[in-house]
Amino acid sequence: MITAADMDYHKPDPDAFNWVETNAFQFWIPEENISCYTYVLTRPNAGVCHSSVYLHKGFCESAADALWGDARMHLPCPETLLDYDLPNGLGTTVIDGPNDYHVRYNSNDGACKFDFTFNALAGPYDPHDIDQNPLRKQAQDSTEAGGWGEAWSNGHFDMLGACKGTLTFDGKSYEIDCIEAMDHSWGPRPEWEMGSISWGNMSFGPDLAFHVLCPIELDDAGNTIHQPLTFGHMCDNGKIVGLVSAEFRTEKRGPFGIRQHITVVDELGRSWSMVGEAVGHAPWHTSYPSFLIFSSLYRWTMGDRVGQSHVMEVYGTGTLGRRARAKLL
């Protein structure tokens, strides 16, 4: 069970130099198909942190197409995660743990600014909590339950929430008003291969949103092969309902998803089917040194409901390197 205490640092293993705590937030501007990702990875035992702010619009085929990229590798580690401001201008304050945050950014040159609140739809979802995750009983241990090897085995939560605020870029202001997901995790994490996953959400409004995670593989043609759901949940009119299964079919253009069919079944036995059409995509290469994210911004339809949100395919650089070598040999 996640409490307000989990918003701040957890006591690290003093012998684990690679212990991390993370905060990840994102938002989008539907009228402009603008996406923004923010990531903070702290290493309290080493006294440093990494931070990435990435902004793109529409379909970006390479990192060079991004509107904005600000990645810093060796910033001083903040003393607390409850209220901090980093030298790159990114800051976060917990307003009402464990549900609400204030996130802001003011680039060092003043060209990019945003300020928004994140208010949880139903509170944090803990994949290790058997009361929230109906699939936890099937997991052999915390590593399997965490969904991403040892990286999330010590602790992790996802949270769906409403983002409201303002983005100002090159002097033009945009309203932030969307439903998105954030996450926080802690534990030892090497800067090396951690497996490939699909992490994303399908949001239809403050009363109905879904979040899913599953392992993925690439076949020889580059198609995404989804493995069984590791964990997932939905926010249904302010209540968290666990998911028990999910089926995915992703159509791709290059490494990016451009159309996705998803059917999930919740623990109450209800089935939900939705289709997403990409309105933007980009490679987010600066979130973490050892993996590359291919993120798509989808516009979702489910019956008469319409929504929008991100789905990310995360691949370790080791995995991509092995595929590249196989093509050459």
pLDDT digits 0-9 by tens, 215-246: 999 998 889 999 999 999 999 999 999 999 99
Using DSSP's 3-state secondary structure scheme, residue 99 falls into coil
CA torsion, ordered 5, 147, 121, 113, to nearest 10 deg:
80
Strands 271-284, 208-218: pairing is: unpaired
Q: What is the pLDDT of residue 145?
A: 46
pTM of structure: 0.94
Whether the per-residue pLDDT at 139 is higher than 60: the answer is no
pLDDT digits 0-9 by tens, 184-220: 999 998 877 777 999 999 999 999 999 999 999 999 8
The distance of Cα 170 from the centroid of its chain, to the nearest Å, equals 26
DSSP letter string, 41-89: EEETTTTEEEEEEEEEESB-SSGGG-SEEEEEEEEEPPS-SSEEE-TTS
Whether the per-residue pLDDT at 29 is higher than 60: the answer is yes
Question: 223 or 147: whose pLDDT is higher?
Answer: 223
The distance of Cα 4 from the centroid of its chain, to the nearest Å, equals 20
Q: What is the pLDDT of residue 152?
A: 64
Sole residue written with tokens 């208010």: 119
> Distance between CA 90 and CA 85 in Å, rounded?
6
**Residues 174/165, Cβ–Cβ less than 8 Å:** no
Residue partners of 277: CB distance under 8 A and separation at least 6: 258, 259, 298, 299, 301
CA distances from 159 to 62, 118, 134, 147, 212 (A): 29, 10, 17, 16, 11
Provide the pLDDT confidence category of residue 301 given band limits of 50, 70 and 90. very high
Q: Which two tokens stand for residue 22?
A: 């993370």
Q: 170's torsion region: left (phi>0), alpha (psi -120 to 50) or beta?
A: left
Rg (CA), the chain: 18
> Distance between CA 109 and CA 84 in Å, rounded?
20
CATH code of the region 19-328: 2.40.370.10
**Residues 256/310, Cβ–Cβ less than 8 Å:** no
Q: Which two tokens stand for residue 201?
A: 């959400």
> Distance between CA 265 and CA 242 in Å, rounded?
9
pLDDT digits 0-9 by tens, 256-299: 999 999 999 999 999 999 999 999 999 998 887 888 999 999 99
Calculate mean pLDDT across residues 30-41. 95
**Residues 186/20, Cβ–Cβ less than 8 Å:** yes
Q: By CB neighbour count within 10 A (0-12 exposed, 13-18 middle, 19+ buried), where does 120 fall?
A: buried
As beta bridge partners, residue 91 has 85, 104
